[in-house]
Amino acid sequence: MKNLKSTFYLILLLAIASACSKFRKIERSEDWRLKYEAGQNYYAKKDYYHTSILFEQILPIVRGLPEGEKVEFYLAYCQYYQKTYLLASNQFKVFYETYGRSQLAEEAFFMYAYSLYVASPDAELDQKSSVEAMGAMQNFLNQFPGSQFTDKATEVVNLCQQKLEEKEFLNARQYFRLKYYQAAVIAFNNFKKTFPDSKFLEEIAFLKIQAQYKLAQQSIVTKQLERYTSTIEYYRELTDGYPSSIYLKEAEPMYTASLNQINFLKSKNKKS
């Protein structure tokens, strides 16, 4: 059994060495056609690393020739499959701009935008790529109505929109967590204006009550009446908009405390 394993590993090593030797011979060759054919074979085997090496070598030679179109297109996909998405996006864009009349131009434009989307990070991080991807994909939809990629492109636009929405929600909530309560209230109101159909609106409505209530508590006496009154208004927005909200039980004590403070402040003002 041990000898069989040793033989297997030896054969495997010899095969790898042979493959490397074969590739090195192709790589050193001055025949661009040989490299072109070999690159296509590597690509068919999903060996994108060796494909990209050969195609990058011959690209300056074949640019302008019929083979150049396929080389640039495959190079873009090699970068995509090797997960260098921003490089892939740029390569697909260059292809589209260079070969605008090609049958592959539509796919290249789509992949330019899609690669930007795949490169975009989670919602907690900067969403520049999401903004660019959404804009590029919307341009694609406008330029290629009825495309075979329409459904996927529409999905990407929606997913980018959701990421941007979540990012804005997290930014607004961060003000609250940092105890910048006045800034938090402003951010929550702006979020509602920007995303009137957001899934976060119920939570936003509750957080706004909390932020306003804490702001009122920390305020100087001359501003407390106005700010406790706003807390009441925000509570009513929650109950009117979400009568079965999971946040009502937690919001009610702040509502009651605000009413009591308003009555106390009004009576105090009358005495003075």
Average confidence (pLDDT) over 79-100: 95
Q: How many residues does the chain have?
A: 272
d(C-alpha 209, C-alpha 257), whole Å: 12
The tokens of 126 are what?
């900067």
Q: How confident is the model at residue 23 (pLDDT cuts 50, 70, 90)?
A: confident
Here the tokens at position 191 are: 């979020």
Determine whether 131 is exposed, middle or buried from the number of CB atoms within 10 Å of its CB (0-12, 13-18, 19+): middle
pLDDT value at 14 more than 70: no
- pLDDT higher than 80, residue 17: no
**pLDDT for residue 6 is more than 70:** no
pLDDT at 193 over 60: yes
CATH number given to 179-272: 1.25.40.10
pLDDT higher than 60, residue 152:
yes
Quickly list DSSP for 160-180: HHHHHHHHHHHHHHHHHHTT-
Average pLDDT over residues 72-94: 96
Residue 10 above 90 pLDDT?
Answer: no
| Minimum mean pLDDT range among 18-22, 129-133, 139-143, 245-249 | 18-22
| Mean pLDDT for the chain overall | 90
Q: Where are the domains of the chain?
A: 179-272
Per-residue pLDDT of 96-107, as tens digits, reads 999 999 999 999
Q: Which amino acid is at 40?
A: Q
Asked whether 153 and 137 are in contact (CB, 8 A), the reply is yes
